[in-house]
A = this chain, B = another copy of it.
Amino acid sequence: MSADSNTTAVCPGTYDPVTEGHLDIIRRAAELFEKVVVGVVAESPRKDTLFSIDERVAFLEESLPPEANIEVEVFDTLLVDFARKWGAKALVKGLRAISDFEYEFQMAQLNRKLAPDLETIYLMASPEYSFLSSSGVKEVARFGGRVDDLVPAVVARRFAELFQ
């Protein structure tokens, strides 16, 4: 940010569905950067999603604070190309645990090979969300467990419709 004063960051993810842990990272990124683009992966190459891309985007838009500096966008390209398109200076990711760290360490190096001028920065998950993942939440919801504190209200309602 030394040179240009207008800085953008990308918070990428599948968000299937968005959790309170994701929202925490996005909000903290929005404190650090002038603009945050939440990049939603259209299709996950490694697994089917429970929610459609339209639902995943709608959950995010309904849950995020209506601040001017956060935008939700879909992408189906290489992440570094998406970041470039938006003129982003950095990717922002959350770290919850060692397994995140290892995966992210590898991704950071790979992405730097592909786009040397795009930095990836990491924020540590808040302790109250450090155990939280979309897949964990889905497993609980599937059996009718309460997930009200773990996901935004719009997602909790949708789970109730689906699994009860």
A interface with B by C-beta (< 8 Å): 1-2, 5, 7, 28, 30-34, 45, 67, 69, 77-78, 80-81, 89-90, 95-99, 101-102, 104-110, 112-114, 119-124, 126-128, 130-133, 136, 139-140, 142-146, 149-150
This protein's copies in its complex: 6
Query: Is the beta-carbon distance between B105 and A131 smaller than 8 angstroms?
Result: yes
Q: Give me 18 other A-B pairs in contact (C-beta within 8 A), A31-B89, A114-B145 excluded.
A: A1-B32, A2-B31, A2-B33, A77-B143, A78-B140, A81-B143, A96-B106, A98-B101, A106-B136, A109-B130, A109-B131, A110-B131, A112-B126, A113-B146, A120-B123, A121-B123, A128-B128, A130-B130
Looking at chain A's contact residues, is the secondary structure mostly helix, strand, loop, or mixed?
mixed
**Nearest CB in chain B: distance from A106 CB, A:** 4
Report the Cα distance A141→B80, complex, angstroms.
13
